[in-house]
Amino acid sequence: MYIGVDLGGTKIKIGMVNEQGQIVRSGIIDTDPSHNDKIIMRDMTVEIERLIKEEGLQIKDIKAIGIGVPGIVDYEKGSIIYCTNLSWYNVEAVTYLKEHFNIPVYIENDATVAAYAESLFGSTKEARDSVFLTIGTGIGGGIIIDKQIIRGAHGAGSEIGHMVIGENFYDCNCGRNGCFETLASATAMIKYAMHKMKDHGAASSLQDIYRKNGQLEAKDIFDQALLGDALALETVHRTARYMAVGIANVYNILDPEIIAIGGGVSKAGDWFFDLVREKVKGMTLVDSDTIDYGKIVRAELGNEAGIVGAAFLSKQA
Amino acid sequence: MYIGVDLGGTKIKIGMVNEQGQIVRSGIIDTDPSHNDKIIMRDMTVEIERLIKEEGLQIKDIKAIGIGVPGIVDYEKGSIIYCTNLSWYNVEAVTYLKEHFNIPVYIENDATVAAYAESLFGSTKEARDSVFLTIGTGIGGGIIIDKQIIRGAHGAGSEIGHMVIGENFYDCNCGRNGCFETLASATAMIKYAMHKMKDHGAASSLQDIYRKNGQLEAKDIFDQALLGDALALETVHRTARYMAVGIANVYNILDPEIIAIGGGVSKAGDWFFDLVREKVKGMTLVDSDTIDYGKIVRAELGNEAGIVGAAFLSKQA
């Protein structure tokens, strides 16, 4: 048995995972942002102990613990360099858990963890080389080459959402302009539609939805595009085009066998995936009749990928 | 002994390389573009035989032959998928040489070959993970992770020059807009300066140089920038900024220990390298005080990298 921890901004999901990659038992704890890292790490150990006990096991039955972190980690030192949504900086998470449990503990970026899970049990398991993109409020990336995680020399690699791919009307949180995630995420879609309505007076059914719900979601834009709303259609096509630019860049740099897309935007219909695939075809360096570039598919494991991938990080060690 | 072949658009450079990576004997043959691939491949074998004979050796003393190709290759099949400047498509180069010499033959993209040579004997030999950029008329890339060549699943990877990073006033040869090489190569510099003078009437000492020489070179632009010419300075700063955007993207995706820059633009003075380094600092995802991102250095092996890297491709097999 393995323990996988999916550290989120508002909750921590913990799962006990068997050798087949199945979650046999799981728990969720809230991460009160007013609590410091020590309290949250302590809550985490309590929950892990509860799961082990409930399963009728002892700590010696657990081969390893792995943690996926939405931030930058130092894999070798086992520390969290930073995790913005928890306001954690230089937290020695691995040392803490190792000292407590006295078993191997591993840490990795959360999108990389999900990429690894997909490559072991999900959408990319047939591929030696694959790239995983989780497209939701932002864009996270994970790179697998020869079935191995590619994390970079300082743990700062695979931040594909912060690849600059164009020019945008608003800046990224990271301070730059034109980051992939500001052009092709759910947030990017919403910001673009709102910008067009507010600053350019574009008429759209999205305006009514915004007035009614007090907010706009990517799903609304996809739905209204299907109903023929001009601004929604324009927004979807813009998103597909930039997603294609980002994917074509990944092809040109890493040339994976499969690109798997997870996160909220991956729930869009097949028509959106087809639109992206069609646009990518026109953007590859080599004619796509000459080279059969990697497939673009939906990720399969959903939210479980974070726990399963983290649980199996020891297999990479 | 090994044989390394650097296949160029106008000439083929062939070298005999010892175990220490030194070229002990070399030759050059012209590639007449009116000759088809069979004639050029035959010329290549004649030259290889001449070198072996002159060195007082026999073919059995050669461990392997490697070829670096300015184009896309199928590493596993050993064929050149395409090589634009020779107008070669699906040339079975490895099969041809293997049948002729009956020794192992390997093939790889030329920028990747140079990256490999640098990682064995040059600027990146201390690094496990490195990226090599050759910046001249275009931008070629080579990726080394864990001292291994990263070529992608279809040999179409490491085409970093065709990563789209912005919007440009002219399209790339590949058909897209905003490719790294159209924004930060020597050609990009020249096109930008010419565009500013022709289409925007910018006054500049570059105009006189262009009139006198009938052309403009990147070196002229660097030289005039140092003398204070406004357009030359603007062009250099624009180039440095886009080079920094491309390098920051490489950091965010691959996070190498060293980025080595070769090619014509790498001959610019240290002040230009310092300018690029300074701009990159402001563009990294994580504060560069928190993470000590990879060094940006000049490549060391120059033109020899093509032969040496090709010669040693067998070490990757």
Which residue out of A80, A164, A295 would a mutagenesis test of the B interface target, given it has the greatest number of B Cβ atoms within 10 Å?
A164
Picking from A151, A166, A285, the nearest residue to B174 by CB comes out as: A285
For a pLDDT cut of 90, what percent of chain A falls above it? 83
- Intra-chain end-to-end CA distance of chain B, in Å: 17
Contact state of A155 with B255 under an 8 Å Cβ cutoff: yes
pTM of this structure: 0.95
Kindly state the DSSP code that residue A172 receives in the 8-state scheme: -
Which residue in chain A has the smallest CA separation from B244? A164
Q: What's the CA gap between A307 and A13, in Å, rounded?
A: 7
Tell me the residues of chain A between 55 and 74 that have a Cβ less than 8 Å away from chain B. Answer: 72
Per-residue pLDDT at B276: 97
Q: What's the CA gap between A241 and A184, in Å, rounded?
A: 8
The single residue listed with the structure tokens 């969290």 is: A80
What average pLDDT does range A165-191 have in this prediction? 97
Contact state of A176 with B82 under an 8 Å Cβ cutoff: no
Q: What's the CA gap between B33 and B88, in Å, rounded?
A: 10
Per-residue pLDDT at A289: 81
The total of other beta-carbon atoms located within 10 Å of residue B221's CB is 27
- The DSSP bridge pattern shows strands B72-74 and A139-145 to be unpaired
Distance from B281 to chain A by nearest Cα, in Å?
12
Q: What's the CA gap between B8 and B112, in Å, rounded?
A: 14
Q: Is the pLDDT of residue A95 over 80?
A: yes
Q: Is the pLDDT of residue A116 over 80?
A: yes
With vertex at residue A100, the alpha carbon angle to CA A95 and CA A103, rounded to the nearest 5 degrees, is 75
Q: What's the CA gap between B77 and A170, in Å, rounded?
A: 46
Per-residue model confidence as pLDDT tens digits over A224-250: 999 999 999 999 999 999 999 999 999
Distance from B49 to chain A by nearest Cα, in Å?
34
φ, ψ of residue B59 in degrees (nearest 5):
-60, -30
Q: What's the CA gap between B244 and B242, in Å, rounded?
A: 5
Work out how many CB contacts closer than 8 A connect A with B.
140
Picking from A154, A159, A245, the nearest residue to B253 by CB comes out as: A159
Chain A partners within 8 Å of B91 (Cβ): none
**Do the Cβ atoms of B91 and B37 come closer than 8 Å?**
yes
Q: Which residues of chain B have pLDDT under 50?
A: none
Task: Retrieve residue B307's tokens.
Answer: 């032969």
A217 burial (CB, 10 Å; 0-12 / 13-18 / 19+) is: middle
Picking from B81, B155, B157, the nearest residue to A254 by CB comes out as: B157
Q: Is the pLDDT of residue A9 over 80?
A: no
Q: What's the CA gap between A270 and A267, in Å, rounded?
A: 9
Task: Retrieve residue B245's tokens.
Answer: 């955007």
Distance from B45 to chain A by nearest Cα, in Å?
28
Q: What's the CA gap between B161 and B243, in Å, rounded?
A: 10
- The DSSP bridge pattern shows strands B258-262 and A72-74 to be unpaired
Tell me the residues of chain B between 183 and 242 that have a Cβ less than 8 Å away from chain A. Answer: none
Task: Retrieve residue A199's tokens.
Answer: 């600053």
Q: Which residues pair with A11 in a beta bridge?
A: A30
Contacts for A87-93: CB closer than 8 Å, 24+ residues apart: A87/A33, A88/A37, A91/A37, A91/A41, A93/A37, A93/A41, A93/A67, A93/A69
Q: Which residues does A278 contact at the CB level (< 8 Å), separation at least 6?
A: none
Q: What's the CA gap between A134 and A184, in Å, rounded?
A: 11
Q: Is the pLDDT of residue A311 over 80?
A: yes
H helix or E strand, kind and range, residue A90: strand A88-91
Round the CA-based radius of gyration of chain A to a whole number and report it.
20
Q: What's the CA gap between B242 and B158, in Å, rounded?
A: 18
Q: Which residues does A304 contact at the CB level (< 8 Å), separation at least 6?
A: A15, A23, A117
3-state per-residue secondary structure call for B24-60: EEEEEEECCCCCCHHHHHHHHHHHHHHHHHHCCCCHH
**Which is nearest to A160 in space by CA: B259, B252, B285, B162?**
B252
Q: Is the pLDDT of residue A83 over 90?
A: no
Q: What's the CA gap between A119 and A109, in Å, rounded?
A: 15
Which of A79-88, A179-188, A206-215, B10-19 is the least confident region?
A79-88
Task: Retrieve residue B63's tokens.
Answer: 């461990």
Q: What is the mean pLDDT of chain A?
A: 94
Write the DSSP string, A234-245.
Answer: HHHHHHHHHHHH
What average pLDDT does range A16-38 have in this prediction? 91
Using CA atoms in the order A286, B68, A258, A252, what is the torsion angle rounded to 10 degrees? Answer: -50
Q: What's the CA gap between B311 and B93, in Å, rounded?
A: 15
The total of other beta-carbon atoms located within 10 Å of residue B126's CB is 10
Contact state of B253 with A129 under an 8 Å Cβ cutoff: no
The reply to whether B173 touches chain A by the CB within 8 Å rule is no
Which residue in chain B has the smallest CA separation from A167? B166
Which of A190-204, A208-222, A240-254 is the least confident region?
A190-204
Q: What's the CA gap between A151 and A142, in Å, rounded?
A: 8
Q: Which residues does B119 contact at the CB level (< 8 Å), separation at least 6?
A: B125, B127, B130, B132, B144, B147
Picking from B156, B255, B294, the nearest residue to A285 by CB comes out as: B156
Chain B partners within 8 Å of A178 (Cβ): 165-166
Q: What's the CA gap between A238 and A195, in Å, rounded?
A: 14
- pLDDT band of A261, cuts 50, 70, 90: very high
Distance from B128 to chain A by nearest Cα, in Å?
8
- The DSSP bridge pattern shows strands A258-262 and B11-17 to be unpaired
CA atoms within 13 A on the CB side of A272: 27
3-state helix, strand, coil in chain A (%, to 5): 45, 25, 35
ipTM for this prediction: 0.94
Task: Retrieve residue B220's tokens.
Answer: 């002229």
Contact state of B255 with A176 under an 8 Å Cβ cutoff: no
Contact state of B256 with A152 under an 8 Å Cβ cutoff: yes
